[in-house]
Amino acid sequence: MNNINAIVIAKNSEDKLLECLNSIDWVDEIIIVDTGSTDNTISIAEKKGCKVYRFNGGGYSQWRNEGLRRAGGRWVFYVDTDERISQKLAKEVRSVVGLTNNNYTAYAIPRTNIIFGKVLKHGGWWPDYVKRLFIRDKLNRWTGKLHEEPQFDGELGFLENPIIHKKHDNLEEMVVKTNDWSAIEAKLLNDAGHPKMVGWRFFRIMLTELWYRLVYQRGCLDGPQGILYAFYQMWSRFISYAKLWEMQTSKAGDLRISED
């Protein structure tokens, strides 16, 4: 049995995948769950000796679960295509995996977030722990449509060395992702019966987000990048709630038509 299987979710990631794979070439096996690539992603993965499985539809929880289903190692290590594993972190992972008397079945790992080409140390972006390393048989499944979370048996430990996360390359990429994610978030809020969106709620949500990122989490200390990203997070929240308002308005309109 392989000891460590790395699981990577990929789609049209030809510009990022090779660097990611090179940073995890020390694991026993790399599993790629491809979610519909039309570029050279699959070719790059196959040339690196990865096992590639295609998965149409679904979301991150389903994709991560598919990787888990395909894994045969004792440990599974989830890495995203825009993440890099340093030699120090690789050594630490190998160390905890090799322990004979390990009290932990899962590990959370800090992330160094690089945004607009700069490491952000404030604004809520550090240490940004993510749960990524598990004993395979103890990880039951991932749940959640937007911010997926693992369900596992046992205790959670914390590693010291961070994952390097090249979060966003440019504003265009950020806007595309926000448009996709905001639609999912708006639907989740709508399905949960969120109170009707009115003018004052928009202002409260936006100002709260900006104050939290810029002032409370001191994002202003990261210079122009931190300030810009704080304002971007405020805008992103606005888009999600604007789409929620759109859904609520459409639902109310449909109800009035049916009553007439």
Whole-number pLDDT of residue 252? 57
Residue given tokens 């990122």 in the structure block: 213
What's the mean pLDDT in 198-220?
Answer: 96
- Who wins on pLDDT, 176 or 43? 43
Q: What is the pLDDT of residue 94?
A: 96
Q: Let me know: does 112 contact 84? Beta carbons within 8 Å.
A: no
The pLDDT score that the predictor gives to residue 170 is 82
24-44 pLDDT, tens digit each = 999 999 999 999 999 999 999
Q: What does the mean pLDDT of the chain come to?
A: 93
Give the pLDDT of residue 259: 52
- 251 pLDDT above the threshold of 70: no
pLDDT of residue 255: 46
pLDDT at 171 over 60: yes
Give domain 4-167's CATH superfamily. Answer: Spore Coat Polysaccharide Biosynthesis Protein SpsA; Chain A (3.90.550.10)
Mean pLDDT value of segment 208-216: 97
Percentage of residues in the chain having pLDDT higher than 90: 85
The pLDDT of residue 169 is above 80: no
* Confidence class for position 46, pLDDT limits 50, 70, 90: very high
Q: Which residues contact 188 (CB under 8 A, 6 or more apart)?
A: 145, 146
- Render pLDDT for 131-157 as a digit per residue (tens, 0 to 9): 999 999 999 999 998 789 999 999 999
Q: pLDDT at position 254, please?
A: 57
Q: pLDDT digits over 226-250, tens only?
A: 999 999 999 999 999 999 999 999 8
Residue 108 has pLDDT above 70, yes or no: yes
Given a cut of 60, whether residue 260 has pLDDT beyond it is no
Phi/psi zone of residue 77: left (φ > 0), alpha (ψ -120 to 50 degrees), beta? beta
Sequence spans of domains, the chain: 4-167, 170-259
